[in-house]
Amino acid sequence: MFRRHKPSVAEHKKDFAVHGAALPGPQNDMRSFFNLSQLVLSAGQLRSPPILRHSKITYFEVEILDAQSKRQICVVDKVPPSFSLLDVKHKFHKTCPQWNPSRIGLRLERNGPYLKDSISIQSLAVSSIITLYFTDLGQQVTWTTVFLTEYSGPLLIYLLFYIRLSSIYAEEESTESFRHPVVHLACLCHCLHYVRHLLETLFVHKISGGHTPLKNMIKGCAFYWGFTSWIAYYVNHPRYTPPSFGNRQVIFAALAFLMCEAGNHFINVALVQQNHSASFPSPTYNPFTWLFTLVSCPNYTYEIGSWISFTVMTQTLPVGIFAFLMAIQMSLWAQKKHRLYVKKYNMGALRKTAMIPFIF
Residues of this chain that bind another protein (CB under 8 A): 234-235, 237, 239-241, 244, 314-318
Residue 240: CB minimum distance to another protein, A: 6
Which residues are within 8 A (CB) of 24 and not within 5 positions of it... i.e. 6 or more apart?
A: none
Q: Residues near 158 by Cβ (< 8 Å), separated by ≥ 6?
A: 187, 190, 191, 194, 228, 231, 232
220 or 320, CB closer to another protein? 320
Pairing of strands 129-136, 104-107: antiparallel
Cβ distance to another protein smaller for residue 196 or 237: 237
CB 149 → another protein: shortest distance, Å? 25
Q: To the nearest whole angstrom, how small is the minimum distance from the Cβ of residue 92 to another protein?
A: 30
Alpha-helical runs (H) found in 200-316: 214-235, 246-274, 298-314
Q: Rounded to whole angstroms, how far apart are CA atoms 102 and 212?
A: 9
- CB 241 to another protein: min, Å: 5
Q: Which is nearer to another protein, 30 or 222 (CB)?
A: 222
Contact 57, 80 (CB under 8 A): yes
Query: What are the backbone angles phi and psi of residue 119, rounded to the nearest 5°?
Result: -65, 140
Nearest approach in angstroms of CB 266 to another protein is 32
- Helices (H) and strands (E) counted in the chain, each on its own, are 10, 6
In the bound state with another protein, the residue whose beta carbon lies nearer, of 146 and 186, is 186
- Closest to another protein by CB, 264 vs 314, is 314
DSSP 262-283: HHHHHHHHHHHHHTTSSS----
